[in-house]
Amino acid sequence: MSRLCSSCVCIALLAFTSATHSAPPSVVQTVPAHGQTGVSPELAEIRVTFDQDMQVGGYSFCGGGAKYPKVTGQPRWLDARTCVLPVALEPDHDYNLSINCAAGAGFRSAATGEVVPSTPLVFTTRTLPPVPRELQSAAVQALRKAIDERYSYRDLRGVDWDALFAERAAAMEAAPDVFAFATAAAAMLGAAQDVHIVATARAPGETGDGTVFPAFQRSVHVNFNGRIIDKVIPGAARLNDAVVTGRIAVPGGAGDIGYILFPTWDRSRADMILAARNAIRDMQNSGVAALIIDVRPNGGGDEAIARQIAGCFIHRPYVYSRSLIRNPDEPDGWSGPFDRVVEPGPAEFGFTGSVAVLIGKGCMSSNESFVLMMKSAGATLIGESTYGASGNPKPTDLGNGVTVLLPSWQDLDPAGVCIEGKGVPPDVPVETRPQDFQSSDPVLSRAIQLMRERVGASAP
């Protein structure tokens, strides 16, 4: 099924079972293997094997774009531990998908309900040229230098980088091609548990973006189900492919309650996102006294676009974040911190009523900046803490066809506290479980209750 995600298609069937606290299940084998080159384009199915019996009523294969394989049928379970995805592969083509992701967590343990951590699967039907060992060795040294001098969260999670490189360098140096090196490098860098670290591989002469190898993929409960919105807010509908709006009539109150969902701040959808300002203006001018902004599934995008939306709700400049930038040319290795400021937008789009923002673990990166903008402006945050991941990643070319993106700053809140690994907490906590969203939305319902109280309406 298609999910509200900036660039993600998630083929998913979810089977909700209460989880207990234990080690999560894991992927033990895939066919093709992660990082494999020269895969036959005649291969008709992708096979995934797990380390324990799974809930065979669920699955999630995530990805999107030209590198997501063409799916020719529904996924099916061969047994309690093996699931296959029917596909049609093309010659000389790279593929990139994920087993489970933030948008879909259908792969779960039969015994405990624990979710399989998001697991990347990258492969190609191309045969790649070899890379000389001396070039791979130089790339390892370049990577180590970048970690030491450029990576802003190098010391955050206590990774022993000396020991890690001593253990993993040989595998990277012996990698026969760019895919093998990127696979080994990403596996090592996963120790940082940083969603903004990725390795990108390009074969000699290749142009374009290359093939991405994630170092770490988050496995979180996103407290949101897009299929429930119109049940909680009858009449809610897409303004366009990047915005959903709705309205709740409040007889006897000071005005109605509006609703706007922003699932992404993707730069490629800027015009559609900014069209929401017209909806905000229309709500302001047509009796909406309170507004619920929903960004729970929003994993980020362009912070400048988010600032333009936040500008509809503020009436003076606010410092919403501070950036502490890694800089090896400075004596202490850092520049800043530098204030990031949100300014009021055009008056015609201004909204003066009460505002609530719905948040949770699906919020990360530039969307957490939006949450901080709205918090600075006095909006009430409802739900669960955001994920806590914002790094402004910058590329380091390793010289062997592999480029590594490493976070370049530490993102601080206005008080100077780093939000990495912590997130932004809600003002009104609403703790939930995945099964809570099968037929209801406790977070949205709590927000509606609060907004009804603010506009002076009695309970429906």
| Over residues 344-372, mean pLDDT | 97
Q: Is the pLDDT of residue 312 over 50?
A: yes
Ranges 66-70, 91-95, 289-293, 435-439: which has the least confidence: 435-439
Are the CB atoms for 262 and 276 separated by under 8 Å? Answer: yes
Q: Is the pLDDT of residue 16 over 70?
A: no
Domain 1-127 in CATH 3.30.310.50? The answer is no
Q: How confident is the model at residue 1 (pLDDT cuts 50, 70, 90)?
A: very low
Q: Which two tokens stand for residue 457?
A: 């309406």
436: Cβ contacts below 8 Å, ≥ 6 apart: 442
Looking at residue 217, its pLDDT comes to 82
CA distance 273 to 303: 12
Are the CB atoms for 195 and 219 separated by under 8 Å? Answer: no
Torsion angle defined by CA atoms of residues 257, 261, 265 and 268, in that order, rounded to the nearest 10 degrees:
-120
Looking at residue 460, its pLDDT comes to 52
Q: Which two tokens stand for residue 109?
A: 């343990």
Residue 326 identity: R
- Please choose, from the candidates 166, 185, 183, 181, the residue with its C-alpha nearest in 3D space to the C-alpha of residue 135: 181
Residue at token pair 């993929």: 217
pLDDT in tens, 143-183: 999 999 999 999 999 999 999 999 999 999 999 999 999 99
CA distance 238 to 224: 16
Q: Is the pLDDT of residue 13 over 60?
A: no
Q: Percent of the chain at pLDDT above 90?
A: 82
Looking at residue 427, its pLDDT comes to 98
Looking at residue 178, its pLDDT comes to 96
| Over residues 174-196, mean pLDDT | 96
pLDDT in tens, 121-137: 999 999 999 999 999 99
Looking at residue 308, its pLDDT comes to 97
Q: In 153-249, where does DSSP find H-type helix?
A: 161-173, 178-189, 229-232
CATH number of this structure's domain 229-388+423-454? 3.90.226.10
Q: How confident is the model at residue 459 (pLDDT cuts 50, 70, 90)?
A: low
Q: Which two tokens stand for residue 195?
A: 């969603």
Q: Is the pLDDT of residue 8 over 50?
A: no
Q: In 158-274, where does DSSP find H-type helix?
A: 161-173, 178-189, 229-232, 270-274
Q: How confident is the model at residue 22 (pLDDT cuts 50, 70, 90)?
A: low
86: Cβ contacts below 8 Å, ≥ 6 apart: 44, 45, 71, 72, 73, 74, 75, 76
CA distance 185 to 172: 7
pLDDT in tens, 396-422: 999 999 999 999 999 999 999 999 999
Q: Is the pLDDT of residue 21 over 70?
A: no
Q: How confident is the model at residue 218 (pLDDT cuts 50, 70, 90)?
A: confident
Q: Is the pLDDT of residue 7 over 50?
A: no
- Count of C-beta atoms within a 10 Å radius of residue 279: 17
Beta strand 393-397 with 428-429 is unpaired
Q: Is the pLDDT of residue 311 over 70?
A: yes
pLDDT in tens, 27-60: 999 999 999 999 999 999 999 999 999 999 899 9
Q: How confident is the model at residue 11 (pLDDT cuts 50, 70, 90)?
A: low
What's the whole-model pTM score? Answer: 0.86
Q: How confident is the model at residue 289 (pLDDT cuts 50, 70, 90)?
A: very high
Ranges 210-214, 272-276, 440-444: which has the least confidence: 210-214
Q: How confident is the model at residue 435 (pLDDT cuts 50, 70, 90)?
A: confident
Looking at residue 207, its pLDDT comes to 75
Q: How confident is the model at residue 65 (pLDDT cuts 50, 70, 90)?
A: confident
Looking at residue 222, its pLDDT comes to 86
